[in-house]
Structure 1
Amino acid sequence: MLTTRPTDDTLYQALLDRDAAYEGFAYVCVTSTRVFCRFTCPARKPRRDNCRFESTIADCVEAGYRPCKRCTPMLRYGESEPAVRLLLEALEAEPDRRWSEQDLTDRGHDPSTIRRLFKKRFGMSFLELARRRRLSDAVATLGAGASVIEAQLDAGFDSGSGFRSAITQLLGEAPQKLKARSSFLKACWIETPIGPMLSVVCDHALHLLEFADRPALPAELRRLQERSGSAVIFGRTVVTDQVEAELDRYFGGVSSAFSVRIGGHGTPFEREVWDALRMITPGTTRSYSEIARQMARPSATRAVARANGANQIAILIPCHRVIGADGSLTGYGGGLWRKQWLLRHEARFAAPASLDQSG
């Protein structure tokens, strides 16, 4: 990677200095007010312990923060495109409105063009952005102890069934059940050189880490919620920060070591296989039959393969290091091209050791 994200302390100092050099590079989310700001915001600066920093506006919105009305981060970010600016102004004027493609057409916009512009700038379409705003506000209302009907009205839903359907689709839980929850699993996108990954964490451990385009991802999310009994909302915890930092070091060629705690999912046999996967040295590979023999279960090759496929923690539990007995790459949920990329990347970690031994 060509650049390294500054530390949060560096970003906080830039916030205090109103350093314009950080405009668009990162945003500050203020936990006490639930708003996010540009670094040059004229408002009084929050305390350090009330700040968290996100790299994109999409991350801020997905984590449930609203744009600051003083520094208008979304409007500034979209000012080079008149259509984007007009729609963001309209969204700020009516944050509770349920926008549709017909609304865009009525305003003289081509929906496909608007979708492309917003995805390029914010990582999501305008309609998705508006929906996330409404639903994040609704979750905050529920969390503050309001009734489901109050949250429904705050989110701009006339229909109770429509509101319940939207909340359930986003969070995997009906609003009435969500209101009774004291904690959630937090989902967040993490950018990598080989594509975005979705991480799902709690306050103490990582529960899922998969590439965004993995076909099995929706099923894995449903299975995770069923096993954990928890709803999933967009947000971050300190575990997210740790996963992101360790992935940065991994992809930057600095370290292949991961110390983040992993949630205890899977059957005892699956966990035994996953432990064996983590013992494979970076830069080397094993076959399913070799892992089975290592586990003193030489006849369990197929069961090892199934457990390998059930792994929902990509890279950290390195199922990409398992190949066929004939040396072929075999299947990989993230795509064979990623498997090949990861193995070549990890060969760099093994190179120094090889040089030392040859000397």
Structure 2
Amino acid sequence: MRGFVLSLLMLVLLLPLAAADGFSSLVDDARLKVVLNYPVEVRLGDCFTLVLQVTFLGDVDVDKMWLKVSYTSEAGTTTLLQDNLVSTPTFYPTGSNIVKTYSLCIPNVQRRDPLVTATFYANYTRETAYQPLTHTWHIAAVRTRTYQDLLNDLNRAQEQINQLRTTIQTLETEINRLRTRLEEALNTAATLMTRLNSSREEIHRLEQRLQTMSDEYRQLNDRFVSTVGELKALQATYETLRRENEALSTSYQQLLHDYRNLTREYSMLQASFNQLHELYEGLVGRHESAKQQIGYLQSQLDETSRELADLRLRYSLLSDENLLHRNIAYAEAFLILAAVVAAASYGLSRRRMLRSPPALPPPPPPPNT
């Protein structure tokens, strides 16, 4: 395709802005698709958004393409937008898109029945010859207040009417209730007047009682002052006793510590005493054995003495025999040595018995905490 000329003319006439947007689509010869998104209503002085999307359904050569948006009223036509989409010959393959978003503002001048229109114009080759395409849309109207605004005002007015009706009914009910309460209040006032007279008499009686209680209060106040003085004296005494108690507690803790140390020392001494007592019992047993042995040796000594006397007698008889005399002397020396050993053993046992320590007394009981 050698060339393509597209002209799109849109005239926008002022209409109050509505909630929904308008949409229009145009497809020509299965080669070009134009989609226009626009507001249905626009208020005077408001701004709105316009979206243009051109889709190429086939390979197209575009010579020129432009978009013009105008505002038309009885005062004439005002151009709001003039945009050259394509200013030089350009080739667009299938599937290409041109998307434009515009922000336009309506003049803040009130006109009568302004109108928004959009005109699309395209000139491109179809069947080897250029054929024009023209299409016009009537988009929207421009007003100072939209239909949605009026509908919202109507709904708010209806809600206010319903609220006022409810308020009137509530007030009527409240008036009736207040009338009833007024009658009750009048009756109550008469009753209260009677009670007021009785209350005055009661007040006079209470004033007299108050005077009596004031006198009693002064007496109690004097007693209170005296009690406070006694309390302060007791507090001073309490502080003194508390300090003494703290000192006694400290002394008690020290004594308790000393007692525990003495108890541990007593336990160690008791263990030593038990060991010494066991040793003493063993020595006593050995002493008894030694006494028995000494008695046995004493009997042997007596017998030996008798034998010695016999030997001396025999010695006197056998004085001529030197060898016999020598043997008797040896025997006598042996007996003397045995007696000395027995006496020394007895003396040693006796000394150990005298040196054994006496039994220790039991420890005193711990103080009460």
- TM-score w.r.t. the length of structure 1 is 0.16
- TM-score w.r.t. the length of structure 2 is 0.15
Q: Which has the larger Rg? A: 2
Q: Which has the higher strand share?
A: 2
Higher relative contact order by CA 8 Å / sep ≥ 6: 1 or 2? 2
